[in-house]
């Protein structure tokens, strides 16, 4: 991933500063930590300047739960008092204790107690932060009398965020030990005034952002640098996702203010343009990375059209199968809000053009309708085919780029399947069922469409005819619990074909479900609406006359 031009120029200076600072403090031996010891912590304050706060050791928790000791401390001083406690964004703030006349690095602020005094925190030892062997997050720390500790909440830096994005952010962080905190409308991304801000020194206590998405659309998690050791940077003091080896961008941020709160004090920050390195490990004790390294990313080109306006956005998504589908959803919502500038009903047409390894292209079309928030509906849909690729059991799709086009119409453009009428008095295998389908368009007069549905020659007996919209789940009353699916892929190429040929929301689908629960698709027809709802008919299909005679003849011969 390329850097902002200014970033390349300042990186050498930043590394030199980091190297000078890294001559730095020795480690404070964990075995010498005693209650009553006092020291200080460092964290970025308003304007990006690193400020001190006071720290007092209360206890060493050897069996708190994460697999390494934690140090219980009380934070104090003007910065902490003004904020109302340890603030979101302070995770990784280095803590120092005096040792032989010098300031020695104990570790980083990592955990707090939601149900206890907000001045209390757990410090992750620096030795544990350097140990990259951890592969997954352990149980949450528990301290007697204080309850369960949680990682310091992580502020999310996102341009154009709104409360509607909260659910999408929760899905990005689903299963993660760290919870995101987004003070919507306040956190800034790269660009605009942020691009003109001078980058602060890269040093312990400075703000550091882990980039999940960068470019015209941005999303990053804010933390604090604990230590810089050569090109290696250690931060957070707790896991972000806890997934072990990772490849995520690192960027700088400038704290604009710390907002006091009795619930969650938090840092407001602006993300600075340019990637300065890559996080390589996400362990229970730290996020570790290399300055100057390039993260693995997926190129996203997002074109949004609405009301005669069209805008194109370019971004880089973290190339992580656990993240990029939902990141595409977040990007779609952000881009749609910028173009539409309003929230409301409508219909969206989505077209994906995904490039996989070896230049293989996957093109998918789909539609969605919403009576309340079409941008959010389109954002959720944007993730779906990408999630199928990311979670498939056949092969690594190795997604290289995603070109997504989204076209919005303020008319919901939907129609519900309201009623079925069968014209045939008698159905015969190999023939056709003539179905009259009443459709109820949104806030318009109902219409009737007639379809001639082919019946397979081997489909006989009592059958359910199910008529539904292409994206409507198959729900059949009193049908067998087990049965065959339509187009179930068995290889990666078959999966790609299934995605290319998938039934769209604007198609009406007629299927049969026999007594064994086996499903057959009999007809799929494109319509002018997003088709909602489903209806079913229970019918009996007779064998063709020739088949009856053949059966009778064979039985007589056997006798």
Q: Averaged over 330-358, what is the pLDDT? A: 94
Q: In this model, does residue 17 exceed pLDDT 50?
A: no
Q: Are residues 108 and 203 in the same domain?
A: yes
Is the pLDDT confidence value at 193 over 60? no
Q: Is the four-CA dihedral 204, 105, 112, 321 of positive or negative sign?
A: positive
Helix (H, G, I), strand (E, B) or coil at 435: strand
- Digit-coded pLDDT (tens) for 247-301: 999 999 999 999 888 778 899 899 999 999 999 999 989 999 999 999 999 999 9
Over pLDDT 70: what percentage of the chain? 86
Whether 34 and 250 have beta carbons less than 8 Å apart is answered as no
Q: What is the DSSP letter of 441?
A: E
Are 173 and 45 in the same domain? yes
> If you ran DSSP here, which 8-state letter would residue 26 be given?
P
The answer to whether position 113 is within a domain reads yes
Pairwise pLDDT comparison (557 vs 453), residue with the higher score:
453
Q: Report d(CA 163, CA 165) in Å as an integer.
A: 5
Least confident of 124-138, 264-278, 456-470, 480-494: 480-494
Query: Residue-wise over 514-528: b if at least 16 C-beta within 10 A, else e?
Result: beeeebbebbeeebe
Tally of CB atoms within 10 A around 12: 10
Do residues 78 and 126 share a domain?
yes
Residue 224 lies in a domain: yes
Structural domain contains residue 551: no
Q: How many folded domains does the chain comprise?
A: 3
Q: How confident is the model at residue 63 (pLDDT cuts 50, 70, 90)?
A: confident
Higher pLDDT, 146 or 137: 146
Q: Quick one: which of 371, 345, 363 has its CA closest to 532?
A: 371
Last residue of a domain, one of 376, 409, 442: 409
Query: Span 535-551, mean pLDDT?
Result: 79
Same domain, 34 and 94: yes
Output the domain CATH number for residue 359. 3.10.20
| Contact (Cβ atoms closer than 8 angstroms) between residue 46 and residue 256 | yes
Q: Out of 241, 276, 295, pick the residue that ends a domain.
A: 295
Partners of 229 in the β-ladder: 232
pLDDT(549) > 80: no
Q: Establish how many alpha carbons lie within 13 A of residue 122's alpha carbon, considering only the half-sphere containing its beta carbon.
A: 31
Q: What average pLDDT is seen over the chain?
A: 87
Residue 186 confidence (pLDDT) above 90? no
Query: 99 phi and psi, to 5 degrees?
Result: -145, 115
| Residue partners of 450: CB distance under 8 A and separation at least 6 | 423, 434, 435, 436, 437
Task: Give residue 436's domain range.
Answer: 414-545
Task: Work out the pLDDT band at 196, boundaries 50, 70, 90.
Answer: low
Per-position DSSP letters for 463-483, written without gaps between them: EEEEEEETTS----TT--S--
Q: Give residue 474's pLDDT.
A: 87
**Statement to judge: residues 100 and 160 lie in one domain:** yes
Contact 15, 291 (CB under 8 A): yes
Residue 130 sits in the same domain as residue 273: yes
Q: Is the pLDDT of residue 187 over 60?
A: no
Non-local (6+) Cβ contacts of 528 within 8 A are: 413, 506
User: pLDDT over 90 for what percent of the chain?
Assistant: 69
pLDDT of residue 322: 93
133 and 213 both lie in a single domain: yes
Query: Residue 559: pLDDT above 60?
Result: no
Does residue 555 fall inside a structural domain? no
User: Are residues 443 and 377 part of one domain?
Assistant: no
Residue at 554 is within a domain: no
Confidence at residue 357, expressed as pLDDT on a 0 to 100 scale? 87
Mean predicted confidence (pLDDT) in 313-322: 96
C-alpha dist (Å) from residue 516 to 464, 466, 485: 11, 15, 12
Residues 397, 436 within the same domain? no
- Asked if 470 and 365 touch (Cβ cutoff 8 Å), the reply is no
**pLDDT at position 439 over 80:** yes
Same domain, yes or no, for 90 and 193?
A: yes
Task: Let me know how long the chain is.
Answer: 559
pLDDT at 16: 46
CA atoms within 13 A on the CB side of 182: 25
pLDDT score for 486: 56
Residue 139 banded pLDDT, cuts 50, 70, 90:
low
Q: Quick one: pLDDT band at residue 147, thresholds 50, 70, 90?
A: confident
What is the band of 433 on the pLDDT scale with cuts at 50, 70, 90?
very high
Sign, CA torsion 336/213/282/86: negative
Q: Cβ–Cβ contacts within 10 Å for residue 441, how many?
A: 16
**Is residue 78 one of the residues assigned to a domain?**
yes
Same domain, 494 and 517: yes
HEC string of 242-303 equals CCEEEEEEEEEEEEEEEECCCCCCEEEEEECCCCCEEEEEECCCCEEEEECCCCCEEEEEEE
Of residues 260 and 558, more confidence is placed in 260
Higher pLDDT, 364 or 166: 364
Residue 110 is assigned to a structural domain of this protein: yes
Q: How confident is the model at residue 20 (pLDDT cuts 50, 70, 90)?
A: very low
Please state, in angstroms and rounded to a whole number, the distance separating the CA atoms of residues 398 and 526.
Answer: 32
Residue 148's pLDDT is what? Answer: 85
Cα 109 to Cα 70: distance, rounded to the nearest angstrom? 10
Supply the pLDDT for residue 75: 97
Query: In the structure encoding, which two tokens stand for residue 164, read together?
Result: 């509607």
Q: What is the pLDDT of residue 556?
A: 41
Q: Per the domain annotation, does 386 fall within a domain?
A: yes
**Model pLDDT, residue 167:** 78
Cα(100)–Cα(511) distance, rounded to whole angstroms? 80
Q: Which of 375, 409, 443 is the last residue of a domain?
A: 409
Q: Given phi > 0 = left and psi -120 to 50 = alpha, else beta, which region is 489?
A: beta
Crossing angle (nearest 10°) for helices 374-391 and 324-340: 160
- Whichever domain contains 282, its CATH number is 2.40.10.10
Rounded Cα gap, residues 389 and 399, in angstroms: 9
Segment 200-222 mean pLDDT: 94
pLDDT at 158: 82
- At 115 the pLDDT is 81
Report the C-alpha gap between 385 and 213 in whole angstroms.
19
The predicted pLDDT at position 464 comes to 96
Mean pLDDT of 438-467: 96
Q: Compute the half-sphere exposure of residue 397: CA atoms within 13 Å on the CB side of its CA.
A: 30
Torsion of CA 18, 192, 407, 325, to 10 degrees: 20
What token pair was written down for 222? Answer: 């804010």
CA–CA dist 190, 186 (Å, integer): 13
pLDDT score for 137: 54
Q: Strand pairing partners for 209? A: 222, 251
Residue 21: pLDDT over 60: no
Residue 426 shares a structural domain with residue 386: no
User: Bridge partners of 311?
Assistant: 304
Higher per-residue pLDDT: 1 or 349: 349
């Amino acid at each position: 991933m390329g850097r902002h031009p200014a970033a390349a120029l300042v990186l050498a200076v930043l590394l030199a500063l980091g190297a000078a600072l890294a001559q730095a403090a020795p480690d404070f031996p964990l075995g010498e930590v005693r209650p009553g010891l006092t020291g200080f912590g460092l964290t970025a304050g308003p304007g990006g300047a690193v400020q001190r706060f006071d720290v007092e050791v209360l206890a060493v928790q050897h069996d708190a739960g994460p697999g390494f000791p934690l140090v219980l401390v009380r934070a104090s001083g003007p910065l902490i008092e003004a904020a109302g406690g340890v603030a979101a964004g302070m995770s990784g703030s280095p803590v120092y204790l005096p040792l032989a006349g010098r300031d020695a690095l104990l570790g980083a602020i990592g955990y707090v107690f939601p149900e206890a005094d907000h001045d209390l925190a757990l410090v992750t030892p620096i030795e544990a932060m350097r140990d990259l062997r951890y592969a997954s997050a352990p149980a949450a720390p528990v301290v007697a009398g204080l309850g369960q500790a949680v990682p310091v909440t992580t502020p999310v830096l996102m341009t154009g965020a709104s409360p509607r994005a909260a659910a999408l952010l929760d899905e990005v962080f689903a299963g993660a030990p760290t919870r995101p905190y987004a003070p919507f409308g306040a956190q800034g991304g790269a660009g605009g005034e942020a691009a003109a801000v001078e980058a602060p020194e890269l040093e312990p206590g400075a703000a550091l952002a882990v980039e999940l998405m960068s470019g015209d659309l941005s999303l990053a998690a804010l933390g604090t640098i604990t230590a810089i050791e050569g090109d290696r940077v250690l931060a957070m003091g707790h896991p972000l996702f806890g997934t072990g080896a990772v490849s995520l961008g690192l960027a700088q941020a400038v704290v604009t203010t710390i907002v006091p709160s009795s619930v969650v004090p938090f840092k407001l920050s602006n993300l600075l343009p340019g990637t300065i390195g890559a996080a390589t490990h996400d362990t229970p004790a730290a996020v570790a990375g290399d300055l100057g390294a390039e993260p693995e990313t997926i190129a996203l080109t997002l074109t949004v059209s609405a009301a005669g306006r069209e805008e194109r956005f370019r971004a880089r998504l973290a190339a992580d199968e656990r993240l990029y589908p939902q990141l595409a959803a977040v990007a779609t919502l952000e881009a749609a809000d910028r173009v539409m500038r309003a929230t409301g009903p409508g219909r969206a047409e989505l077209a994906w053009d995904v490039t996989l390894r070896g230049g293989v292209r996957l093109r998918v079309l789909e539609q969605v309708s919403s009576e309340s928030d079409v941008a959010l509906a389109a954002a959720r849909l944007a993730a779906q085919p990408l999630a199928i690729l990311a979670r498939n059991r056949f092969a690594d799709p190795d997604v290289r780029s995603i070109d997504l086009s989204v076209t919005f119409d303020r008319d919901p453009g939907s129609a519900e399947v309201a009623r079925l009428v069968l014209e045939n008095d008698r159905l015969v295998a190999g023939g056709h069922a003539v179905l009259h389908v009443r459709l109820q368009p949104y806030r318009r007069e109902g219409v009737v469409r007639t379809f001639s549905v082919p019946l397979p020659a081997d489909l006989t007996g009592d059958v359910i005819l199910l008529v539904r919209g292409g994206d409507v789940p198959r729900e059949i009353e009193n049908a067998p619990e087990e049965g065959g699916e339509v187009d179930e892929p068995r290889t990666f190429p078959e999966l790609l074909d299934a995605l290319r040929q998938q039934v769209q929301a604007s198609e009406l689908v007629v299927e049969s479900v026999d007594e064994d629960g086996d499903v057959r698709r009999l007809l799929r027809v494109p319509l002018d609406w997003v088709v909602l709802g489903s209806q079913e008919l229970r019918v009996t299909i007779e064998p063709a006359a020739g088949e009856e005679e053949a059966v009778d003849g064979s039985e007589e011969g056997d006798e």
